[in-house]
Every structure is written in C-alpha cells, then in structure tokens.
Amino acid sequence: MYKTTRNLTVVTAFFIAALVISNILASKVVQIGWIEIPAAVVAYPITFLCTDIVSEIWGKKDAQFLVRLGFFVQLFTLLLIYIAIFLPPAPYMTEFQESYAATLGSSARFVLASMVAYLVAQSFDIVLFHKIKARFSPKWMRNNSKAVSQLIDTAIFITIAFIGVVPNLLVMIFSQYLIKVLIALADTPIFYFITRHSSAEPPTE
C-alpha cells in the first residue's frame, strides 16, 4: 500500500467500521469449551492492525489522529443509540421496544467500556510501536507490540463491560486475550503485505 490520501481513507474506513461494529457485537458472549469471549473479538483486533498500518506508512501523528477520530465516533455512536432508545415506537412496534432498549442499552455500556479501554490501549500501542520501530528493524516485532496493548485493552474493557454480569471475569479476560494474541500473530503476514510499499513513491498515472 502506497502512502496516498486515498489509501489512508480506505484504512480509516475499515478502522471505523470495525470499531463501531465491535460495540454492537460485544453484547453476545460466545462459549467454546472453557473459553468465554465477547463476539466482538472477531472485529476489534482489526482496529489495532489498522493503527499499526497507519503508524508504519503515514507515521505517528496520523495514527494518533485516527485514535482521536475513533474516540469521537464512539461518542457520536453513543448519542445516536440513546436518541434511538428514547424515540417513541410506532403502535405496532411497542412489543419490541423493551428488547430493542435492552439490546441497544447494553451496547451503550459496551461503548463506554470500549471508549475507556480503547483510548488507553490504542494510545499506548502507538507509543510502543514507534519505540520498537526506532530500536529494532524487523516489522514483525513492532506489529506484534499490540500483544501488550491488547492485554491492557482486554483487562479494562472486560472489567467495565461485564462486571456483575459474568461469573468469572478472569476467565473471560484470559480467553479474549488469548484469541487476540493468536489473531495478532495471524495478521502479521497481512501487515507485511499491506506495508510492503510503505517507503516507495506511489506510481504516477
């Protein structure tokens, strides 16, 4: 991926989409054997991949702007959720209002948890990414720096979102973190492929 405004827009679009959908998916808890994880685990790690790509190609300032943009998008999402909940339903939809409010209301809690965890973890990830980039050359080292950031993110998010809801927070934290680390390792080839032209000039038309 070349360093162009169009490509930055594409990465930003994927980042925002993954971020917003994560807050909706988080209301479902998936259990596979002893592993308990929010369904958002299929989408949220994409946000870390996107910030790493932006950090690698466009630099620290653009990555930090992306994090701030994501934070305000989540605030806007939270506002729209509450407006939708409090709008009066049509007479033939009143029976669904309680389920609608329960679903979106829980999403509001997940948005709050996500905002706190996101701002702390993503900001830390960008700083750590560039510290590793300055000292070590292999891309895989800085790409997988998010393993540390995602531990912070997971611990904060699970605690705020699920305290008083799930019986064992530590099991869920460990389960989600394990899946995130595996995804981080799996997306390393994707990171290499996307950033292979990071230092090259874009082709002229």
Burial of 52 (0-12, 13-18, 19+ CB in 10 A): buried
Burial of 33 (0-12, 13-18, 19+ CB in 10 A): exposed
Q: How far apart are CA 107 and CA 25, in angstroms?
A: 8
**Backbone angles phi and psi of 38, in degrees to 5:** -65, 145
The per-residue pLDDT for 65 is 95
The per-residue pLDDT for 204 is 61
User: Residue 189 corresponds to which tokens in the numbers above?
Assistant: 């080839």
pLDDT tens digits for the chain (205 residues)?
Answer: 888 999 999 999 999 999 988 878 877 888 888 888 888 888 988 998 999 899 989 998 999 999 999 989 988 988 888 898 888 888 888 888 888 777 777 667 777 887 888 889 888 888 888 888 788 767 777 777 778 888 998 899 889 888 887 778 888 899 888 888 888 888 888 988 998 876 656 666 5
The per-residue pLDDT for 1 is 84
User: Residue 153 corresponds to which tokens in the numbers above?
Assistant: 């993110």
The per-residue pLDDT for 53 is 93
Tell me the pTM.
Answer: 0.82
CB burial of 80-102 (b: ≥16 within 10 Å; e: otherwise) equals ebeeebeeeeeeeeeeeeeeeee
Q: How far apart are CA 25 and CA 18, in angstroms?
A: 10
DSSP state of 89: P
Cα four-point dihedral sign 130, 38, 25, 192 = positive
- Start-end of H helices in 36-187: 45-57, 60-86, 94-135, 139-143, 146-162, 169-186
User: Residue 128 corresponds to which tokens in the numbers above?
Assistant: 């750590």
Please report the domains of the chain, with CATH numbers, ordered by start residue.
5-194 (1.10.1760)
* Tally of CB atoms within 10 A around 34: 8
